[in-house]
Chains A and B, each alone.
Chain A
Amino acid sequence: MRTGYRSTVVLLSAFLTGLVVMSFEMLLGHYLNPYFGSSIVTWGAIISTVLLSLTCGYFIGGSLADRHPHGRTIGTLLLASAAYFAVLPYVSENLLMAIAMAFEDVRIGALTSASIFAAPLAILGMYCPFAVRLLMQDREHSGGVAGRIYGVSTIGSIVGTLGVAFYLVLHIGTRNITTLVAGITFFTALLNIFLLPSNEVLGNAQKDRANETA
């Protein structure tokens, strides 16, 4: 029962972080287009930045999860991410304009601009390895747990992509979608801080190790 509740919270969070990553990636196009055009160069800069952020997130998130396998650790980081999203619409215009004027080469300009959006995405990328650590009970089911988490997170990404591209962009605009993204990230942060506070998983892991030694 306890495991079921824990699993629901973690999978829901994985779904929501996946949703936010791709919603935000779609939004990046709208942020950068006015300054760098909507060409393949801009999209190349966006996609590579998102992938780099996720790469950092996976590495750092994985090692951090082993050291601090608590919901509140990743939850606090997600709070920072939410704050970043909330502030972005108010500062992005001046920042992007300054970068566009500073670099003659569109590729460097677009890549530099995309990189200012990297930090919150890296934090979101940390969630999946964290989730694996939070849900892992024993080695026998580790593959299934990791598979479920990445599957659910990717479904979230699909919903985020289609939601923004097919619906939200038509109705509420980039700033409002960013605020919505900030809200979802904030909600996910609270879920993790308040509903996954215990150190229970670490206990299980230690139990596993003890069994192995025995």
Chain B
Amino acid sequence: MHKKTERTRLRRTALFWPLLLLSVAAAHAADCRMSLSSGEPTKWAESAYNRIFIYSAGPCVKMTFRRVGMEWDESVSNRADLKDLPVQYTRVLTIASAYPETIKKVAMLGVGGGSTLNYFSQYYPDADHIGVELDPEVLKFAKSDFGLEANPRIRLVESDGRMFLMRSKDVFDIVILDAYRGGYVPSHMLTKEFYLLLRKHLSQTGVAAINLHYGTELFESSLRTIQEVFPTVHAFPAGGNVVVIAANSPAQDDQIRERASSRQQKLDFRFPLPEMLATRKVYFGTSKAQILTDDFSPANQLEQMKSINSERRW
């Protein structure tokens, strides 16, 4: 009796630990954001641009910047699964791949931890992936802690995003724009001249996927400025952010839907393109929003102003 109980207990114990480990691993795989929601930073650095903090828990790793007394999540990655995108807006950014006719060149301005670039590189292994990051310390962490060095499909460039485009002769099928520095985008990457430069670097059916913070006057002005430059601008709500897809040529809805389903069938994206494409909403911006130019770019001030009646505009 005693023996049997002992054996049962042993069997239970033997089962308990692997099951616990499995469940922890599953939790990590399912939601890196949850597993990283508490704890102390494991690494930090102060660069010329940011105060950077790295948090790790199992395969999950998060990069934050501290600014104006707040901690801003810049990037969350799952090192064990490069097809995982723990942050919602990064999933929505991948809608960009429904638009271009072919995907041969992808650039990301503002790499952070580079999870979106990692994701694209898994599904489009033959495409060129270029990550452009201003902050050398961020690049160091992206390589060492977010696995970008280990990914041979990604080339990293240390440069300001706008200067990179000014000097580059390449055209891209997708340009992901996520150059945030602790909650704000540098003002020279929000102007009409910048978006014109960006458009010049898009292939015929190329698109820019732009991450914008929602709910301030800056959002209104940014959207209006993008609409001024690109013939097709689609908006996708993504939590507190809005992902804007700006296309170089007028995009036909049915053609994009078709492309999304055929690519989904062929490549089996973790975050299905057709479903995400259906989350598109029409945003009724205010006509009062001012277009931002190199000459007139009060971006920092507009960011501080809450947008009036923003919830009614969808």
Q: Check B298–A37 contact: CB distance below 8 A.
A: no
Is there a chain A Cβ closer than 8 Å to B170's Cβ? no
Complexed CA–CA distance, A175 and B293 (Å): 11
B134 touches A35 (CB 8 A): no
Chain B residues in 8 Å Cβ range of A34: 162, 188, 191, 193-194, 294
* Chain B residues numbered 171-200 whose CB sits less than 8 Å from any CB in chain A: 186-188, 191, 193-194
List residues of B (40-86) whose CB comes within 8 Å of A's CBs.
Answer: 48-49
Q: Chain B residues with Cβ under 8 A from A174's Cβ? A: 294-296
CB distance from A182 to the nearest CB of B (A): 15
Question: Are A35 and B163 interface neighbours, CB within 8 A?
Answer: yes
CB distance from A9 to the nearest CB of B (A): 34
CB distance from B224 to the nearest CB of A (A): 16
Decide yes or no whether A36 CB sits under 8 A from chain B: yes
A39 to B50, CA, bound (A): 10
Residues of B within 8 Å of A12, CB to CB, are none
Write the chain A residue with the least CB distance to B298. A170
Q: Nearest-CB distance from A165 to chain B (Å)? A: 9
Across-interface contacts of A91 in B (CB, < 8 A): none
Q: Are B188 and A170 in contact (CB under 8 A)?
A: no
Band of interface residues on A: 20 to 34
**Interface set, chain A 145-189, CB cutoff 8 A to B:** 169-170, 172-175
CA distance A41 to B136 in the complex (A): 14
Chain A positions within 8 Å of B298 at CB level? 169-170
Residues of A within 8 A of B187 (CB): 33, 38
Q: Tell me the interface secondary structure of chain A in the complex.
A: helix
A100 within 8 A of B: yes
Contacts of B312 in A (CB 8 A): none
**CB-CB contacts below 8 Å: B241-295 with A:** 293-295
Measured CA separation A97–B294 after assembly (Å):
13
Q: Report the bound CA distance from A30 to B294 in whole Å.
A: 7
CA distance A198 to B298 in the complex (A): 45
B310 within 8 A of A: no
The answer to whether the Cβ of A106 comes within 8 Å of any Cβ in the partner chain is yes
For residue A101, CB closer than 8 A to chain B, the reply is yes
A37 proximity list for chain B (CB < 8 A) = 134, 160, 162-163, 186, 188
- A210 on the B face (CB < 8 A): no
Contacts of B293 in A (CB 8 A): 173
Q: Mark B156-169, 1 if CB is under 8 A from A, else 0.
A: 00001011001100
Chain A neighbourhood of B163, CB < 8 A: 35-37, 100, 106
Residues of A within 8 A of B160 (CB): 36-37, 39, 106
Whose C-beta in chain A lies nearest to the C-beta of B194? Answer: A34
A173 CA / B134 CA spacing, docked (Å): 27
Kindly provide the distance from the CB of B75 to the nearest chain A CB, expressed in whole angstroms: 20
Min CB distance A174 to B, Å, is 5
Question: Which residue on A lies nearest to B302, using beta carbons?
Answer: A170
Let me know if B297 is at the binding interface, CB within 8 A.
yes
Q: Say yes or no: A40-B191 contact (C-beta < 8 A), given A106-B163, A174-B294, A175-B295.
A: no
| B49 neighbours in A (Cβ, 8 Å) | 39-40
Kindly list the 6 A-B residue pairs having the minimum CB-CB distance in the complex, ordered from nearest. Answer: A173-B296, A37-B160, A33-B188, A170-B298, A173-B295, A34-B188
* A-B pairs with beta carbons under 8 Å apart, 16 shown: A33-B294, A34-B162, A34-B193, A34-B194, A36-B160, A38-B187, A38-B188, A39-B134, A40-B49, A41-B48, A100-B166, A101-B166, A169-B298, A170-B301, A173-B293, A174-B295
